[in-house]
Chain A
Amino acid sequence: MTSNPPSLRIGNRSIVTKRGTEPAVFRLRAAFICGLIVVLLAGVKLVDIQVINAEAYAETGVRQRVRTVELPATRGRIYDRDGEVLATSVDAATIYADPRAFRASSTASGIALPAAADAAAVAASLSELLDMEANDLEERLRRDAHFVYLGRQLPFEVGEAVQALRIPGIGVLTEPKRVYPGSTLAAQVLGFTGIDGEGLQGLEQRFDTVLVGEPGSLVMERALGGLEIPSGTRELIPATVGTDVVLTIDRQIQHAAEVAANEAMERHNASGAGVVVLEVASGDVLAMASTPGFDANNRSLFDGDTYRNRAATDMFEPGSVQKVFTLAAAIEEGLVSESTLMDTPQAVTIYDKRFGEIYRREEKEFTLTEILAGSSNVGTIMVAQDLGADRLDKYLRDFGFGVSTNSGFPGEAAGMLAPRNAWSGTSLPTIAIGQGIAVTLLQLASGFATIANDGMAVQPKIVRGTVGNDGRLAPVSQTPSRRVLSPRTSRQVRHMLEDAVTGDLATGGNARIDGYRVGGKTGTARKPNHNVGGYSSKYVATFVGMAPIDNPRFVVAVMVDEPKPAYYGGAVAAPVFREVMETALISRRVPAEAAGQDLQRALVDAQRLNRKHRETQTALVATALDN
């Protein structure tokens, strides 16, 4: 192996100045010290940044780079019992402006900045789109503020149109908006939400925490200028959609109830009306109508008084309808039966107070059925006296009077039934005939449903259940039913109620429905005068009934407030009952019990035609055979 020739390399040197000193070394040392100081300073700053104020700097960095966008949760829908949408949410556009863009300004260094756009011109261009006066818009654009709304919850297309204009200083946000496809349908039951989506009234308020859902968030990195960095951090926590609520309301029956109530209110110049339809077996509220109503999509156009759900929140003296409960209690106690004959005078006097009859009639013996059918005050009071105050009080409370039905509707009234120890001498006769007691329409319907359900009281409910993200219906818990009357007593009362519609003395003849056996009771009560005491000349007309009477499926309760000039329950409320009950029976496919006259006629005609057709066929055959 041949080795390469040795090469040279530079060795160590010594730098010596003329004066024998070493200035370079000194300078190097000075430079080293300066460098060391700089490094130390940098180190101190690094410690400050990385250790002492690390959190604050990290936050500042995140703030500058990362943006968190809150994703609003979509509010749950409200459905009727068949899954028809009663309330839902859609995206809407909210238009805002930064008024600083519409006025000239200057920077901190004194550089003048012109306005980005002319407020008047912008106002004019947006006026038509936003359906607002240009002057109003211009005034908003000239406000001394950083942010003003120009319009909220506008149609999404309006937002897109505004965005397309690319006006500096004008922005568009997407917000959820609550809509009610039925407009006025069940408006008082559903209630409404505020502009920020919070439940304010009705079931929207009652189930706000269920419907509202949980907002999500989107964390993303943004570059200078606000553009998102596509490959940057992106953390999405999806919003949890609110739970849907399924009501027991049937949209068809609800509509029929509202139409009938509206027509009755107009026909009788009434100040309002209410209708409740209950399904007997389940206690489901199939309809709860109140008039005058309002359009939930444009509620600002309506008086706040129309928001009230009269059927659940308004109390009134029921009048003669209450007699049913008094007589039912007496039958249950074995004091009387439907065929018991009673000698009823024209009037009775109790504690110096005279109670007479509303309808003139001859003085003779009447059965209990006739007493109810004829709505006899005297007969009912006589029965109530036999029953006694204690037992009447007990039964009325068992029927659910004096306490809220807990149907699930917010603000439901409990009615007024004075404690037994506060009853005066005339409380028994007055309460027995439906005065001195205040009830809600829902309580009345519930009481009748107990009679219809063979004496078992089922708590009325307006919410069937909730539907979560799994899409399954979670039914609401059902309160156990309780027995108030025996089935035998219930059957007797139902027969009496049928007679109150079909009998000779019936006051509820207008409630008859062709093809079905119907039972019910009218009520006509004077309204108390709260200013001067006593009663006013205004009336509340009621009718509560059930069908089919042998095996009742539905109870319909009707209340018409201050009808005039006619004010009797049989004339004012019974026709409403007939219309609503007929719709309920048909839409829920309840077979007709007895063929009505029209139907019988149609069947006879069909049979006759069939016979004629067969005769013709026979003749044709005979002719053919002959030939």
Chain B
Amino acid sequence: MSAVFRFASRRTVTQEPTKPYLAVVIDPPKRHVLLFGVTLTALICAVIFGAVTLNALAASAAVDALRLDGHVGDAERLYAQQVADVAALENPGRIREAAFELGLVPAGPARHLVLERNLPVDGAVLVSEQRAANPDPLKPLLSAAS
């Protein structure tokens, strides 16, 4: 019984209802209330579960993304540092100093040459008349052996 009803019943002294207090109603047709309730509850639960699961997955993926971002940042930093380190190690001035510390001495004058023909395997250089007769310095010995 509602509060308004109780409040009214205490305060009412003379009560002359203008309309009948009670009315006849038709009993509503029977429905599958339980089935409907269970289905609705299951649906709501599924929706909530799905939403929470998706949110959790998104949060997990976001955390993974942040972690990967961190890794990428670290890797980029390391790469930049190593590029600088390698360049410093390859610095001609440092190499020169290191060579001196190892007891090396500056090389004598080097020259690039354009050869008129390919050198033989053993690097020997033939004089022109010998070259005409024996193009390969190893050949006479091999011929003799055969």
| Chain A residues at the B interface, C-beta cutoff of 8 Å | 3-4, 6-18, 24, 74, 84-86, 88-91, 156, 179, 181-185, 228, 230-231, 234, 251-252, 255, 259, 514-515, 582, 586, 589-592, 595-596, 598-599, 603, 606-607, 609-611, 613-614, 617-618, 620-621, 624-625
Contact = CB atoms under 8 A, between A and B. Distances in A.
Contact of B84 (A24, A84, A179): A179
Interface string B122-146: 0011110010001001001100110
A627 to B, nearest CB: 12
Contacts of A259: 93, 96
A293 to B, nearest CB: 11
A453 to B, nearest CB: 22
- 3 A-B pairs closest in CB distance: A181-B87, A6-B24, A230-B62
A617 B140 contact: yes
A613 B137 CA distance: 9
Interface in B1-51: 5, 7-8, 11-15, 17-27
Nearest to A91: B77
Given A9-B25, A230-B63, 20 more contacts: A6-B24, A7-B24, A8-B25, A11-B19, A11-B23, A12-B17, A16-B14, A182-B91, A183-B88, A231-B58, A231-B62, A255-B93, A586-B112, A591-B112, A591-B114, A606-B124, A610-B127, A614-B140, A620-B141, A624-B145
A89 B87 CA distance: 12
A6 B25 CA distance: 6
Contacts of B86: 85
Nearest to B82: A90
A607 B127 contact: yes
Contacts of B125: 603, 606-607, 610
Given A251-B92, A590-B112, A614-B130, A17 B11 contact: yes
A541 B143 CA distance: 65
A185 B140 contact: no
A90 B109 contact: no
A182 B25 contact: no
B87 A596 contact: no
Contacts of B13: 16, 18
Contacts of A613: 124, 137
B140 A515 contact: no
A255 B92 CA distance: 7
B131 to A, nearest CB: 10
A610 B122 CA distance: 10
24 contacts: A8-B25, A9-B25, A11-B17, A11-B19, A11-B22, A12-B19, A18-B13, A85-B84, A85-B86, A88-B84, A89-B80, A90-B84, A156-B77, A231-B59, A234-B62, A251-B92, A255-B92, A595-B111, A595-B113, A599-B113, A607-B126, A610-B124, A610-B126, A613-B124
Contacts of B88: 181-183
A609 B127 CA distance: 11
Q: Counting chain A CB atoms within 10 Å of each CB, which of B15, B63, B83, B85 scores highest?
A: B83
B127 A24 contact: no
B53 interface: no
B66 A621 contact: no
B22 A9 contact: yes
B110 interface: yes
A241 to B, nearest CB: 10
Interface in B67-124: 77, 80-81, 83-88, 90-93, 96, 108-114, 124
A11 B109 contact: no
Interface of B: 5, 7-8, 11-15, 17-27, 55, 58-60, 62-63, 66, 77, 80-81, 83-88, 90-93, 96, 108-114, 124-127, 130, 134, 137, 140-141, 144-145
A176 B38 CA distance: 62
A14 B27 contact: no
A620 B142 CA distance: 12
A34 B89 CA distance: 83
A15 B8 contact: yes
A75 B38 CA distance: 64
Nearest to B18: A14
Contact of B21 (A11, A74, A514, A591): A11
Contacts of B113: 591-592, 595, 599
A53 B21 CA distance: 54
Contacts of A18: 13
A542 B127 CA distance: 45
Contacts of B27: 3-4, 7
Given A88-B83, A596-B111, A614-B130, A15 B11 contact: yes
Contacts of A514: 109
A586 B93 CA distance: 18
Contacts of A515: 109, 111
Contact of A8 (B8, B12, B24, B130): B24
Contacts of A592: 111-113
A251 B90 CA distance: 10
A610 B137 contact: yes
A397 B5 CA distance: 114
Contacts of B80: 74, 88-91
Contact of A10 (B21, B59, B66, B92): B21
Contacts of A624: 144-145
A184 B93 CA distance: 9
Contacts of B124: 606, 609-610, 613
Contacts of A621: 140-141, 144
Given A16-B12, A90-B81, A252-B92, A8 B23 contact: yes
Contacts of B25: 6-9
